[in-house]
Amino acid sequence: MSAWETVIGLEIHAQLATKSKIFSGSATRYGAPPNSQASLVDLGYPGVLPVLNGEAVRMAVKLGLALNATIAPRSVFARKNYFYPDLPKGYQISQYELPIVAQGSLEIVLEDGSTRKIGVTRAHLEEDAGKSLHEGLPGLTGIDLNRAGTPLVEIVSEPELRSAREAVAYMKKVHTLVRYLEICDGNMQEGSFRCDANVSVRKAGTQKFGTRAEIKNLNSFRFVERAINYEAARQIELLESGGTVVQETRLYDPDKGETRSMRSKEEANDYRYFPDPDLLPVELDAAFIDSVRQTLPELPDQKAARLVRDYALSAYDAGVLSASRELAAYYEEVVRAVPKEPKLAANWVMGELAAALNKDNLEITCGRIPAAHLAALVARIADATISGKIAKEVFEVMWAEGSTPDAVIEAKGLRQITDTATIERVIDEVMAKNPGQLADYRAGKDKLFGFFVGQVMKATGGKANPAQLNALLKQKLGG
């Protein structure tokens, strides 16, 4: 066991899936031509004023309820003041002292199957900044304010994560949650879901936190894991060689796989937070909060528990299948068609199908293999029309051509051979062709059994029913 313990807290920024921005009517669509989705409010024109988007509030409350958190009856927007060209007003509207969501938690499942509860300190609403562009603009900086004013919810964890893997498990869980709640599309490449990681190390067994470094803007699970591991190792090495960790902001360079200093605490801005006088405090009554509660879907943990209960799946399988609402829905659609085979269905959804989707970088919702087709395939395995091995072959054709399993089985003649006489005839032929191996087997070389299985399978194109073949072969070889 290491003498050092890593302490991690994550600040996750999730872009809320509202149609319009948090304080203006501009659209929030990704990838529009620069500044085509920037209204006078987003541009910070003289005289304009922000008006809060009620949908963003509703989404934040949804998140708070799903985190079992306290929903503040009164929360306040504040101005975070700093100058930057992509921050048009010279301040970001955020929540500071009174966030809309406080003191929640969620449970993560560790690799050994155990669970840990991770505290969520707070979640607050804020607006995103614009983007500075440098590519293709030598000596110039371009400003794209399409993103300025996009609603974000910042979810701040307690410093309770103890490894990069825990951090990733936590981040994945939040990712699952926001997508279940349909409050964020979770698209990490487009920056809809990203995080800052606060990392420090301390001697195992001590209580006092070490000095932390904040790693900014991590936009993939892999980067989070690598950045934290790199940073923890860097700090440990520094401390072991007699150095000290400086409180600073660092950037992760995915090409080099390292973090490097961006600015120290001394250089940090004094943001001069104060309540935004242009916006009224957000006051939420119990009736409103209850009305939002009514709209909550079945949450990931609830769904996983139900999958275990209804289909006798393992906690692990249930966890994998409930990682996304769409995956779980697909699985349940398959099971509805083959209600006696929940485990086999789970294996196929999590195995072949997941691998194929992953390989082609597709989502479960792509429709490449409709749930009905996969269910038909599972049914053919269950009724012994084909073996599991042949089923993989059938699946590949289904994936490539979009055909039904029955059509593939018929077209390729893959129906399993279950006729005893036919199998016996092939066994006889194989035995006749291989007198030497037969003699050796009968002389006690048991290992050659496999050789004969292989030969028969080869001769039948793999279609012989494995169980029948096994029994008949034993009988025949035994003389």
The footprint of another protein (CB under 8 A) covers 40, 43-52, 79, 81, 83, 85, 88-91, 141, 143, 270, 272-274, 277-280
Is 74 or 272 the residue whose CB approaches another protein more closely? 272
Query: What is the pairing mode between strands 131-133 and 142-144?
Result: antiparallel
**Residue 132: both structure tokens together:** 């500075």
Cα–Cα dist 409/468, whole Å? 20
Write down the least CB distance from residue 44 to another protein, Å: 4
In three-state secondary structure terms, 362 is coil
Please name the helix (run of DSSP H) or strand (run of DSSP E) that holds residue 321, with its range, or none.
helix 315-321
In three-state secondary structure terms, 127 is strand
Is 105 or 249 the residue whose CB approaches another protein more closely? 249
CB contact set of 90 (below 8 Å; sequence gap of 6+): 44, 81, 82, 83
Is 56 or 431 the residue whose CB approaches another protein more closely? 56
Please name the helix (run of DSSP H) or strand (run of DSSP E) that holds residue 79, with its range, or none.
strand 77-81
Is 83 or 361 the residue whose CB approaches another protein more closely? 83
Cα–Cα dist 415/132, whole Å? 61
Is 82 or 209 the residue whose CB approaches another protein more closely? 82
Write down the least CB distance from residue 142 to another protein, Å: 11
Per DSSP, the residues of 156-170 read EE-S-B-SHHHHHHH
Write down the least CB distance from residue 214 to another protein, Å: 18
Write down the least CB distance from residue 134 to another protein, Å: 13
| Cβ 6 vs Cβ 234: under 8 Å | no
Tell me which amino acid residue 253 is.
Answer: D
Is 135 or 255 the residue whose CB approaches another protein more closely? 135
Write down the least CB distance from residue 149 to another protein, Å: 14
Look up residue 417 and give its DSSP letter.
B
* Cβ density class 384-409: b for 16+ within 10 Å, e for less: ebbbeebbebbbebbbeeeebbbebb
Cα–Cα dist 171/194, whole Å? 9
Write down the least CB distance from residue 278 to another protein, Å: 5
In three-state secondary structure terms, 125 is strand
Is 88 or 405 the residue whose CB approaches another protein more closely? 88
Cα–Cα dist 425/269, whole Å? 85
Is 81 or 418 the residue whose CB approaches another protein more closely? 81
Is 141 or 247 the residue whose CB approaches another protein more closely? 141
∠ Cα 405 410 411 (to 5°): 100
Is 138 or 479 the residue whose CB approaches another protein more closely? 138
Write down the least CB distance from residue 101 to another protein, Å: 21
CB contact set of 431 (below 8 Å; sequence gap of 6+): 438, 452, 476, 477
Please name the helix (run of DSSP H) or strand (run of DSSP E) that holds residue 327, with its range, or none.
helix 325-337
| Cβ 159 vs Cβ 201: under 8 Å | no
| Cβ 22 vs Cβ 171: under 8 Å | no
Write down the least CB distance from residue 144 to another protein, Å: 13
Residues in the chain, overall count: 479
Distance of CA 197 to the CA centre of its chain: 18
Write down the least CB distance from residue 32 to another protein, Å: 18
Is 25 or 388 the residue whose CB approaches another protein more closely? 25
Tell me which amino acid residue 231 is.
Answer: E
